C-alpha cells in the first residue's frame, strides 16, 4: 500500500456555509504529515476543471468536499488514477458518508483521513456514468427537474417543500420493466432505487446494497397509489419492519431498467439520465479513506457488514 505523501482538496463552496466549512476543513487539516493543495470553488461549473487540475500533479490523495451530488459528479474523474479518495460530507443527506461510516462533522471526517485506513469499494454505473451511492426514478427526479430556479434560495426550505408537495399531487405511479439476467418482471410501482449503498436521502432504505458487494441493487416500491410511497418513506424513516411490505429487490452485476412512460433519473440528486438504462456495478474500482467496516445494524435490528 503506497504511503500518502501528497494531497489535494477541492470543496464546493458555492454557499456561505460552504465557505465557512472550507475554512474549518483547512484548520482541521493542520498537522497532517503531508501538504494539502486546498481549493474552494464557488462556481460549481468549475469543479471538474479544478479536479482535473489537481490530478495533473499526481497527488496520492484527493479530498472532495460537498454533498452527494458533488462527490458523485466528480468521482468519475478519479477512476483510473492511482489516487485515494477522501470524503468531506458537506451536504444535507450525506448518504455516501453514512454508508462508509464517516462522521458527518468536518473535524470527524478529517480525523478519518488522518487515521489513514483505506477501503476498496464499488461504484455504481448508469450506462457509462459512475455514481457513488444511489439513483432514483419517481418523485425525486420530478421535483429536481421542475423546481423553479432560485426558489430554495429565495424562499428557503419552506418554498422547496411547498414545491415538492405540489409535485407530489401531480405525481402518478408508473410501470417498471426490470431484467437482472435471470428474472424479467413487469411491475406497477411508485419509486425505483438503483443502489450502491443502503442510504438514500439520508435514510436507510435498501438493506441488500453495500459498497463492497460486487453487485448493483434495484429496489422497487410496488403500488398503484402514491400513498404507498409516503407510507414506505415514513416506515423507513422510523425504522419499521413494515417498510419491506411493498418493496422488491433485484441484484446483479448488470440490471436493465425501463419504464412506461419514459422517466427521468436522478443520480445522487442530479437529473442526469432517462429510462431505459442499464445499471451496472464497477466492482472494487476505487480506494477511499474510511473507518474499518463495522457490523452495521439497520433500523430493524438486522446486523450486516458495512
Q: What is the CATH number of the domain that holds 68?
A: 3.40.50.10330
Is the model more confident about 102 or about 300?
Answer: 102
Instruction: Report yes or no on 44 lying in a domain.
Output: yes
Please say if the pLDDT value at position 85 is more than 70.
Answer: yes
Q: Binning pLDDT at 50, 70 and 90, where does residue 154 land? A: low
| pLDDT at 306 (0 to 100) | 47
Question: Which of 78, 98, 122 is a domain's end point?
Answer: 122
Instruction: Report yes or no on 155 lying in a domain.
Output: yes
Question: Which of 122, 156, 179 is a domain's end point?
Answer: 122
Is the model more confident about 178 or about 156?
Answer: 178
Lowest mean pLDDT among 51-55, 96-100, 143-147: 143-147
Instruction: Report yes or no on 141 lying in a domain.
Output: yes
User: Is residue 87 a contact partner of residue 288, using CB atoms and an 8 Å limit?
Assistant: yes
Instruction: Report yes or no on 247 lying in a domain.
Output: yes
Q: What is the mean pLDDT of the chain?
A: 87
Q: What are 260-292's pLDDT values in tens digits?
A: 999 999 998 788 899 999 999 999 999 999 998
- 96 and 232 fall within a common domain: no
Task: Determine how many CB atoms are found less than 10 A away from the CB of residue 189.
Answer: 24
Q: What are 99-135's pLDDT values in tens digits?
A: 999 999 999 999 999 999 999 999 999 998 999 999 9
Please say if the pLDDT value at position 192 is more than 60.
Answer: yes
| pLDDT at 194 (0 to 100) | 96
Q: Binning pLDDT at 50, 70 and 90, where does residue 63 land? A: very high
Q: Binning pLDDT at 50, 70 and 90, where does residue 295 land? A: low
Task: Determine how many CB atoms are found less than 10 A away from the CB of residue 146.
Answer: 13
- 153 and 192 fall within a common domain: yes
Considering the chain, what percentage of its residues have pLDDT values greater than 70? Answer: 88
- 140 and 117 fall within a common domain: no
| pLDDT at 37 (0 to 100) | 95
The whole domain housing 33 covers: 7-122
Please say if the pLDDT value at position 244 is more than 60.
Answer: yes
- 93 and 20 fall within a common domain: yes
C-alpha dist (Å) from residue 176 to 139, 173, 246, 249, 274: 14, 10, 14, 12, 13
- 97 and 144 fall within a common domain: no
- 59 and 143 fall within a common domain: no
User: Is residue 249 a contact partner of residue 210, using CB atoms and an 8 Å limit?
Assistant: no
Considering only CA atoms, which of 56, 258, 217 is closest in space to residue 122? 217
- 135 and 111 fall within a common domain: no
Is the model more confident about 31 or about 56?
Answer: 56
CATH number of the domain bearing residue 181: 2.60.200.40
What total of structural domains would you count in the chain? 2
Question: Which of 69, 90, 122 is a domain's end point?
Answer: 122
Cα–Cα distance, 292 to 100 (Å, whole number): 9
- 78 and 193 fall within a common domain: no
Instruction: Report yes or no on 2 lying in a domain.
Output: no
- 143 and 256 fall within a common domain: yes
What is the full DSSP assignment across 49-106? Answer: HHHHHHHTT--SEEEEEE-HHHHHHHHGGGTTSS-EEEEEE-SSS-HHHHHHT--SSH
Instruction: Report yes or no on 18 lying in a domain.
Output: yes
- 102 and 236 fall within a common domain: no
Cα–Cα distance, 284 to 203 (Å, whole number): 24
Instruction: Report yes or no on 1 lying in a domain.
Output: no
Please say if the pLDDT value at position 152 is more than 60.
Answer: no
- 140 and 111 fall within a common domain: no
| pLDDT at 294 (0 to 100) | 62
- 254 and 275 fall within a common domain: yes
pTM over 0.75: yes
109 backbone dihedrals φ, ψ, rounded to 5°: -65, -40
Instruction: Report yes or no on 45 lying in a domain.
Output: yes
Cα–Cα distance, 161 to 33 (Å, whole number): 44
Amino acid at each position: 500500500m503506497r504511503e500518502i505523501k501528497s494531497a489535494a482538496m477541492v470543496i464546493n463552496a458555492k454557499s456561505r456555509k460552504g465557505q465557512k466549512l472550507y475554512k474549518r476543513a483547512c484548520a482541521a487539516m493542520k498537522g497532517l504529515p503531508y501538504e494539502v493543495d486546498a481549493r474552494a470553488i464557488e462556481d460549481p461549473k468549475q469543479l471538474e476543471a479544478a479536479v482535473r487540475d489537481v490530478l495533473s500533479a499526481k497527488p496520492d490523495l484527493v479530498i472532495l468536499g460537498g454533498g452527494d451530488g458533488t462527490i458523485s459528479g466528480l468521482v468519475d474523474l478519479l477512476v483510473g488514477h492511482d489516487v485515494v479518495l477522501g470524503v468531506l460530507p458537506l451536504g444535507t443527506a450525506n448518504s455516501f458518508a453514512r454508508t462508509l461510516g464517516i462522521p458527518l462533522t468536518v473535524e470527524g471526517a478529517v480525523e478519518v483521513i488522518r487515521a489513514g485506513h483505506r477501503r476498496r469499494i464499488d461504484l455504481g454505473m448508469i450506462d457509462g456514468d459512475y455514481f457513488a451511492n444511489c439513483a432514483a426514478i419517481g418523485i425525486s427526479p420530478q421535483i429536481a427537474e421542475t423546481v423553479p430556479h432560485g426558489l430554495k434560495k429565495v424562499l428557503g426550505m419552506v418554498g422547496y417543500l411547498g414545491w415538492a408537495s405540489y409535485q407530489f399531487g401531480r405525481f402518478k405511479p408508473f410501470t417498471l420493466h426490470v431484467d437482472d439476467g435471470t428474472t424479467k418482471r413487469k411491475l406497477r410501482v411508485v419509486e425505483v432505487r438503483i443502489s450502491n449503498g443502503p442510504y438514500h436521502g439520508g435514510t436507510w432504505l435498501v438493506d441488500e446494497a453495500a459498497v463492497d458487494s460486487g453487485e448493483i441493487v434495484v429496489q422497487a416500491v410496488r403500488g398503484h397509489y402514491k400513498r404507498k410511497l409516503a407510507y414506505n418513506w415514513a416506515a423507513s424513516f422510523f425504522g419499521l419492519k413494515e417498510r419491506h411490505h411493498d418493496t422488491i429487490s433485484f441484484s446483479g452485476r448488470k440490471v436493465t431498467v425501463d419504464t412506461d412512460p419514459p422517466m427521468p433519473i436522478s443520480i445522487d440528486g442530479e437529473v442526469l439520465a432517462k429510462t431505459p438504462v442499464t445499471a451496472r456495478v464497477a466492482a472494487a474500482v476505487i480506494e477511499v479513506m474510511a473507518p474499518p467496516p463495522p457490523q452495521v445494524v439497520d433500523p430493524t435490528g438486522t446486523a450486516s457488514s458495512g
